[in-house]
Chain A
Amino acid sequence: MKAKVHVMLKNGVLDPQGEAIRHALGSLGFDGVNGVRQGKVIELDLADGTDEATINQMCDKLLANTVIESYRVEVL
């Protein structure tokens, strides 16, 4: 089985990289980009039957730093 983990900075945590991307889009002529948030996607190839609670533990312990990041698990 496969799962995707989406890791994003929490709302309210300033994202300097997202801001830089927003400025770059503006300078390319794309108007109306009001905000950009950059995150990461981690693809996991897991033993069949791995439960979501285990994947959440992986996220809490390593894949996300929950002080500043939130995550969403998508089982494929």
Chain B
Amino acid sequence: MKAAVIVFPGSNCDRDMAVALKAAGADVTMVWHKDSALPDVDLVAVPGGFSFGDYLRCGAIAAQSPICKALISHVERGGYALGVCNGFQVLTETGLLPGALMRNAALKFVCKTSPLTVETSQSAFTEGYNAGDIVHFPIAHHDGNYTADAATLDALKGEDRIAFTYGDNPNGSVDDIAGVLSENRRVLGMMPHPERAVDAGHGGTDGQALFRGLIGQFVQA
């Protein structure tokens, strides 16, 4: 499986993302935000960090970068995309995922390991888990307070598109939502960091199943 990791000025989880993808067997290329075309890849990963210093709104400037136009075309062609933390913010700002991430309800940057419930195993990203599994992923963000209007929330629930929920809602997210899937289930955005839980040295390996499951899809195909 071929994957690209986008690097924006201010990205700081791009290398972690590449390491996690490679460890699971992916062939990884790093792409720069000014590139206007993606290499021929199955998955585009949008990493965490503070793209463009979080100016204007988190992810807003990154969402207008040349590479994001290529990302949108990739998703429109049915390609897979994974956005973590700032990457989730970028995906909502591009409109590829619904809702928005606001300032944490308690106004503080939260950095800890959070217990999450896997809400659905019906996606390439979560098929390595069972619905109801509890996994522990690190979180580290100031703007992870997920919000969406009532109609959007109804659609997310009705279509089984909530991928992960928090056990300890650390940021005020509506309905404890930590990660959501696109309508075609090929785009996942989440605030917690699965790529920081793939090695015993990380203190946990709950994230391995996400990357292995995702890459396993392509091995079978």
Contact = CB atoms under 8 A, between A and B. Distances in A.
Interface in B86-115: 92-93, 98-100, 102-107
Contacts of A62: 56, 60, 64
Given A16-B105, A17-B107, A63 B147 contact: no
A21 B107 CA distance: 11
A14 B99 CA distance: 14
B79 interface: no
A23 to B, nearest CB: 11
A68 interface: yes
B148 interface: yes
B107 A16 contact: yes
Interface in B3-54: none
B185 interface: no
A61 B93 CA distance: 10
A interface majority secondary structure: helix
Given A16-B145, A62-B60, A62-B64, A67 B100 contact: yes
A10 to B, nearest CB: 9
Interface string A9-49: 00001101100100000000000000000000000000000
B2 interface: no
Contacts of A67: 92, 98-100, 147-149
B107 A20 contact: yes
Sort A-B residue pairs by CB-CB distance and give the 10 closest, nearest first. Answer: A67-B100, A68-B100, A16-B105, A65-B100, A16-B103, A16-B107, A20-B107, A65-B57, A17-B103, A68-B147
Interface of B: 56-57, 60, 64, 92-93, 98-100, 102-107, 145, 147-149, 172
27 contacts: A13-B102, A14-B172, A16-B102, A16-B103, A16-B104, A16-B106, A16-B107, A16-B145, A16-B172, A17-B103, A17-B107, A20-B107, A62-B60, A62-B64, A65-B57, A65-B60, A65-B93, A65-B100, A67-B92, A67-B98, A67-B100, A67-B147, A67-B148, A67-B149, A68-B100, A68-B102, A68-B147
Interface of A: 13-14, 16-17, 20, 61-63, 65, 67-68
